[in-house]
Every structure is written in structure tokens, then in C-alpha cells.
Amino acid sequence: MDETTQNRDIFQKELHEYLASHKSTIPEVRFYLDETGNEGDKAFTGVAGLCIMNWKQYEKYAAALAKWRREQKWPATIHFAETGSDQINRAVRLLAELEQRRSGLLFLGYALVSRGRTHQDLLSLFIQLVIDSLHCLKRNGCLDEPRSVRVVKEADPGFDNIFLTKMHKQLSDLVALEFPGTLFVQPIEPVTKGRQVFLECADLIAGGMQRRALYKGRNPKDKLSEAVFNVTGFEDTTDHGAVFKCYPAQS
């Protein structure tokens, strides 16, 4: 281990101890991410979702959104892929509620051409999306003090059993390299989606990104995809509240 790596590891250990001792006051950057693609013959792999810039400041809005979701009494999880004409209104209403609480959020989406279930591509997309999002926050003056970074993703045993530890290690190393002494990555949390409202939102954003890249129709899913892009600002180059790159399959 070279001296630079040793020093970086020491800084990260000290930062971790500092964050642990100030747990109630240290701001947290929190990501909710979901994957999409790889089904059938779709040459598309993507990761998308949202970043909450400061969880402590945003927590009351998160609680209000979760409360709204519970009050709807919709027992089934909202999935983009399972949204037909009879359920599209639920998804659109959820996006509208999210849009009302957009302040403090960064919408995220990266995708590329990739045929088949390529876990290595997903690993790279997850890591690069988080790193680029953190750089975006830094450019916008949102990382002016030590922060912890928490990544919550939809649980996927096939991916998580093999790659979750590796993803945490690689992400931690990159964060330590590019944001020395300021950010610390918490263990990545795989969570079953259920009615977890931010993972449902991440699912809609990821599904909308895929649909927009692969289809240009006017069925309910295309209309839902349009709603996703209107809320996230993915196609609005003047919108600084989004980090988005998509390289769809060639026709």
C-alpha cells in the first residue's frame, strides 16, 4: 500500500469516527436508485432515481410524501412495467406529489446499450451515477461541510449477493479520492420495494427513461414516460436539478 493510499485511508477512518460521534447533526446525502432493462431482447441497461441533497432538511417532506402514499390505500406496489391504462393515474399522481416537493432533490439517470443481464455494466452505472451526482452537488455549493452518503437501492439478490460489497468498496475508494476528508459512504442498503415511496419513484424514473429511449408510441406507458421527463427535467438542458445521460440502442 503506497503512502497516498495509506493517508487517504487514515483520513476516511478519522472522518468515519467524526461522523459517528456527530450522527445527529451531520448532514446526509441520500440516494434512492433502481435499475431497468435487460428484459427479453431489449439492448438497454440503466440506473435511475433521485438524490436527496440534505436528508435532515428534507425529512419532513419525505414524511409528508410517505403519509400521502399511505392514505391512498393502494395495496400493490407501483411498478412502471405493470402500469396499464387502469393504473396510470396512480403513477402520474405520485409523480405530481413528488414534483410538489422537488426543492432539495436531484433527479438522476444513466443508461447505455447493453444486451442481456450484465451485472458489471450495472455496477459501473451505479458507481458513476453517484460520483457524478456528488460532483454536481459540489459545483452547486451543496457540499460545504462533512457529509455521509447513503445509497438505497431496490433489493436484487442475484446482483447484491455478488456485487454489493464490491460496489461499496469501489464507491468508498472513489469518494475518498475525489472528495478527500469531506464525504463518507455508508454501507449500501438493498431494500425490498414494497410501498417504499422513494423506491417506487425511482422505479418510475428508471422505467420512464427506458421507455423514452426505446419507444415512441402513444400508449399509457409512453404517456407515463412523458410525465417522468416533465417532472425530472431530463431533457431540459437549462435544468440544473438533474444528472442525465442516455445512450439508447441503435435502431
Give the CA diameter of the chain: 61
Q: Is residue 11 part of a domain?
A: no
Confidence category of residue 172, pLDDT binned at 50, 70, 90? very high
Per the domain annotation, does 18 fall within a domain? no
Full domain range(s) for residue 240: 28-246
In percent, how much of the chain has pLDDT > 90? 64
Q: Is residue 95 assigned to a domain?
A: yes
For 31-87, how does the pLDDT look when each residue is reduced to its tens digit (9 = 90+)? 999 999 766 667 789 999 999 999 999 999 999 999 999 999 888 899 998 877 778
Q: Is residue 251 part of a domain?
A: no
Note the pLDDT tens digit of each residue in 240-250: 788 998 875 44
Structural domain includes residue 143: yes
Asked if residue 101 belongs to a domain, the reply is yes
Domain count, the chain: 1
Answer yes or no: is 187 within a domain: yes
In a domain, 32, yes or no: yes
Distance (Å) of CA 198 to CA 72, 102, 141, 171: 15, 12, 24, 22
**Alpha helices, DSSP H only, in the chain?**
3-21, 55-71, 88-100, 119-139, 157-178, 197-214, 220-232
In this structure, what CATH number is given to the domain that contains residue 53?
A: 3.30.420.10
C-alpha cell at 73: 390505500
Q: Distance from first CA to last CA of the chain, Å, rounded?
A: 47
pLDDT at 250: 47
* Model pTM score: 0.87
**Could you report the per-residue pLDDT of 224-238, keeping only the tens digit for each?**
999 999 999 998 877
User: How much is the pLDDT for 237?
Assistant: 76
Q: Which of 158-178 are b and which e, b meaning 16 or more Cβ less than 10 Å from the residue's Cβ?
A: ebeeebbeebbebbbbbbbee
**The C-alpha cell that represents 114 in the structure block:** 447493453
Of residues 249, 234, 220, the one with CA closest to residue 80 = 220
Contact 248, 213 (CB under 8 A): yes
